[in-house]
Chain A
Amino acid sequence: MIDIIYDCYRDLKKENIFFFYNGIFPHEVITEIAEMIFNKTKMEDVKAITRNRLFSVIVEQMQNMNYYSDKHLNNSDSSVGEGTIMVGYEGNYYFVICANMIEAEKIVPLREKINKLKSMSKQQLKEYYNYRRKQKSEIDSKGASLGLIEIARRSSKPLEFCFKEVDNELSFFLLKTII
């Protein structure tokens, strides 16, 4: 057991990941994690714009996981989604990685959605965000479906994402944002 934990600890250090959490994402957890990382960056005198962007991306990514993860607490229909978040440094940037299980049928629309955002300039993202904000929410959307656009707008580099098939029904979805 200690070997597994030590390997995990060492790998996280090696990747400059200073925060790691795996579990469910009820509102209270989202709030605590976001505030903890905000306070850390405040103590470290990180520029206000970077600090606020990091906070924003962390909140949006965790809320997306809570809404859209297809693995829930105790495998129940509970609305609390399960997943993983990692926050770390990469050169002069911060990165936020979130990963969660999604149903196979959701892969294609999600891939299209993210690729569309990746192809847009910052100005196009701004226009798209404002256009979507003026529209009525989609029926299946628990948020305003603006979350991903918000994440893309706050990121300093193009979003990175991938899927790993777990079984016939589920895949592991990973999204990385660099701030």
Chain B
Amino acid sequence: MKSLIINHTKTTPEINFDCNSHILNITGKSYPENISEFYGTIFVWLEEYLDFIDNQNVTVNIDLTYFNSTSSKVLMDLFDLLDEAVDDGKNILINWFYDEEDPDTLEFGEEFQDNLESIQMVFIGKTS
């Protein structure tokens, strides 16, 4: 299968899902005009990818400086999908990048973790 690369815009993050290195990056800001149009492609790719992999180590890096409430819902759906994959025996880890100067950004990550059963989230502080 092919990697998924989407350049960032002012309101959509950069997507760099590399199916060779198994590193999936979501970087930037997320408050798209059309949420389903933007994330639809990403979910289609992810579902195919999760069928494609065995038990390789997969790292998902979430480095979002802003996401709106609608994106927050989509991220929850995305993490649920990954969570189920972990239940099925896949080895997936999420790195959650947060701003050390803004405790809210750590809390956002922790709230996702609290709502997930199996997948592990690692919190990585950044100085802005």
Contacts and interface: CB of A to CB of B under 8 A. Distances in A.
B68 A56 contact: yes
B105 A52 contact: yes
B70 interface: yes
A93 B93 CA distance: 39
Interface size class of A (residues with CB under 8 A): 20 to 34
Interface string B65-99: 01011101100100000000000000000000001
Interface stretch (A4-12, A142-150, A165-173): A142-150
Given A31-B11, A49-B103, A126 B68 contact: no
Contacts of B7: none
A130 B33 contact: no
A48 B100 CA distance: 9
A35 B128 contact: no
Given A47-B101, A49-B102, A56-B66, A27 B11 contact: yes
Contacts of A143: 69-70
For the residues of A in contact with B, the DSSP-based class is helix
A48 B101 contact: yes
A146 B128 contact: no
B51 interface: no
Contacts of A133: 72-73, 76, 115
Q: Which one of B66, B73, B105, B111 has the highest number of Cβ atoms from chain A below 10 Å of its Cβ?
A: B73
Contact of B69 (A52, A53, A149): A149
Given A59-B31, A126-B111, A48 B128 contact: yes
A147 B69 contact: yes
Interface string B110-128: 0100110000000000001
Interface string A38-56: 0000000001110011011
A27 B76 contact: no
A63 interface: yes
A48 B31 contact: no
Closest 8 CB pairs of A and B: A146-B69, A27-B33, A144-B73, A48-B101, A48-B102, A150-B69, A49-B102, A144-B70
Interface of A: 27, 31, 35, 47-49, 52-53, 55-56, 59-60, 63, 126, 130, 133-134, 137, 143-144, 146-147, 149-150, 154
